[in-house]
Structure 1
Amino acid sequence: MSVPAEIAASKQISLTTYRKNGTAVSTPVWQVSEGNTLTTVSLADAWKVKRIRNNPRVEVTACDIRGKIRPGAQPVPGTAALLPPSETENARRLLESRYLSARIGGWFNRTFHIKRPEGVGIVVTF
């Protein structure tokens, strides 16, 4: 199954992960869609990353920048995988190709050799 057009076209998505007790937690994130996958990057110590380590089942829904779900938007189930550090930089570059502020931040960090907080790429397969 490929990424639904509504999600691929959306600048932000609501990434829903699940706690150990099954409670759903949604977080708005930037994303880049390719084929049947969606890629994003998060801080390595973020709670969503910890939840994905425990349970790779996720749901993705188109949303606005504040995480408000668009009327009529349908959640799409998927499976998340965490990328190793060697592939996380490629995921950052993908986000930079789509988002101007990510491009500016990435350029600034590379130009002035500013150490970024440790991040981890997340790939959701549908």
Structure 2
Amino acid sequence: MKPSPARPASPELARFEKQQAVLLTSHKKDGTGVGTPVHFAVDGDHAYFRTFGRAGKVKRLRRDPQVEIAPSTLRGRPTGPGLRARVRPLERGSGEYARAARLINRKYPVQQGVLVPLWHKFRRDATLHYEVRPVPEEAPPAP
């Protein structure tokens, strides 16, 4: 059976669809933002990224799932406006986890399909996948 392709991007995420990297800003306990460039695969109204299990952002995301995402260079320099989002860890072994892995591997076949999994295995570190959903902007209060 052929894997299903990614769904068309929602208007909020359309600008991230062809991005090579996205700056994901998570927050420390004191509210300070920490930006990290990640590979990002858009799937309709949400997107996915993967990371090492021992990465610093995992601890920050566990404590506060509110993030900002912005298009960026591979080194993490923002190239456009960002938006607020919420992340959710995906359960290993679930269909959603497998779909996230397929979409990321398809978008970045050499780096994420081969090199990153080998590096995770070499480091003996878990591979985690997260779902990212934009948070709707709050409407201004009525006068």
Q: Which bracket does the TM-score occupy, shorter chain normalised?
A: 0.7 to 0.9
- What is the alpha-carbon distance in structure 2 between the residues aligned to residue 6 and residue 91 of structure 1? 19
| CA deviation map 1:47-98 (0-9, x unaligned) | 111101000000100001111111xx11110100111121444422221111
AA of the residue aligned to 1:97: R
1:21 alignment partner, one of 30, 52, 56: 30
SS at structure 1 position matched to 2:15: helix
- What is the alpha-carbon distance in structure 1 between the residues aligned to residue 53 and residue 25 of structure 2? 17
Aligned residue pairs: how many?
Answer: 119
* Deviation (angstroms), 1:12: 0.6
Query: Which structure 2 residues correspond to residues 74-89 of structure 1 after superposition, within 5 A?
Result: 74-87=81-94, 88-89=97-98
Specify the structure having the higher radius of gyration (Cα). Answer: 2
* Deviation (angstroms), 1:7: 1.6
Instruction: Determine which structure has the larger helix proportion and give its number.
Output: 1
Q: TM-score w.r.t. structure 1 length?
A: 0.83
Point out which structure has higher relative CO (alpha carbons under 8 A, 6+ apart).
Answer: 1
* Deviation (angstroms), 1:8: 1.9
Structure 2 counterpart of 1:4: 13
Q: Does 1:36 align with 2:37?
A: no
Q: Does 1:105 align with 2:115?
A: yes
SS at structure 2 position matched to 1:38: strand
Q: Does 1:68 align with 2:77?
A: yes
Identify if the C-alpha distance between structure 1 residues 44 and 104 changes in structure 2 by more than 3 Å, giving closer, same or farther: closer
SS at structure 2 position matched to 1:53: helix
- What is the alpha-carbon distance in structure 1 between the residues aligned to residue 30 and residue 86 of structure 2? 18
- What is the alpha-carbon distance in structure 2 between the residues aligned to residue 44 and residue 79 of structure 1? 19
- What is the alpha-carbon distance in structure 2 between the residues aligned to residue 50 and residue 89 of structure 1? 23
Tell me, which stretches of 5 or more residues in structure 2 are unaligned?
1-8, 135-143
Alpha carbons 2:40, 2:48 under 8 Å: kept = yes
Q: TM-score w.r.t. structure 2 length?
A: 0.74
